[in-house]
């Protein structure tokens, strides 16, 4: 005869496995949905959302959050990096979104970030890692792009923000060009710039 402790243990195990499978299935099938923020460096390597501040002469960066946005049919999905910036109520507080290049299943979701001060403002350097075994296969490829949100406070007008995207192989070699099908090849690193007012 099976005792109550054994039955309870089996039920708890089944519920846990079901929960993990549900979470995994939701993440894999969530096209057009933002996945939970990803860990990145150097703000707080073990944190999923980076909240440590970095101060430059002309700007203070109060947060850097990294997430993924998946391709959704019927919505424009830019293959090249883009920057959008919007004031949040106060003139000095700006919310920036640096959307990265189109990527696929062969690219790691762990996008490394670094923020550095520059003479005219600040710069974000984002590094994507691609599997060294990728050979431009399009079968079962899930398209996505990194989305890095920064909250900044301007100390002066006309602050220049640069976002540079690098791609390295899982072997550590840096790529000078790469392609994510069905989009054409792109040269790396890619830098986009905007002036914050």
pLDDT tens, residue by residue, 166-186: 999 999 999 999 999 889 999
The pLDDT tens digits along the chain (197 residues) read 455 555 545 445 444 444 433 333 333 343 333 333 333 333 333 334 445 589 999 999 999 999 999 988 777 778 899 999 998 776 678 999 999 999 999 999 999 999 999 999 999 999 999 999 877 665 578 899 999 999 999 999 899 999 999 999 999 999 999 999 889 999 999 999 999 98
In the numeric block, which tokens belong to residue 92?
């000095």
pLDDT value at position 91? 63
Say whether pTM exceeds 0.85: no
pLDDT value at position 5? 52
From CA 37, how far away is CA 25, in angstroms rounded? 17
């Amino acid at each position: 005869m099976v005792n109550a402790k054994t039955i309870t243990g089996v039920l708890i195990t089944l519920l846990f496995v079901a929960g993990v499978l549900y979470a995994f299935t939701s993440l894999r099938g969530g096209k057009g949905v933002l996945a939970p923020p990803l860990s990145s460096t150097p703000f707080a390597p073990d944190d999923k959302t980076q909240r440590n501040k970095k101060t430059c002469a002309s700007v203070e960066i109060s947060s850097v959050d990294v997430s993924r946005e998946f391709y959704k049919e019927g919505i424009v999905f830019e293959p090249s990096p883009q920057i959008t910036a919007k004031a949040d109520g106060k003139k000095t507080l700006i919310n920036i979104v640096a959307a990265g290049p189109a990527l696929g299943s062969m690219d790691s979701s762990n996008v490394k970030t670094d923020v550095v001060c520059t003479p005219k403002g600040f710069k974000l350097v984002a590094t994507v890692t691609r599997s060294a075994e990728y050979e431009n296969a399009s079968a079962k490829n899930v398209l996505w792009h990194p989305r890095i949100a920064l909250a900044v406070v301007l100390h002066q007008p006309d602050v220049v923000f640069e976002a540079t995207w690098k791609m390295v192989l899982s072997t550590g070699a840096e790529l000078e060009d790469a392609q994510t099908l069905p989009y054409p090849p792109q040269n790396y690193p890619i830098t986009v710039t905007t002036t914050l007012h």
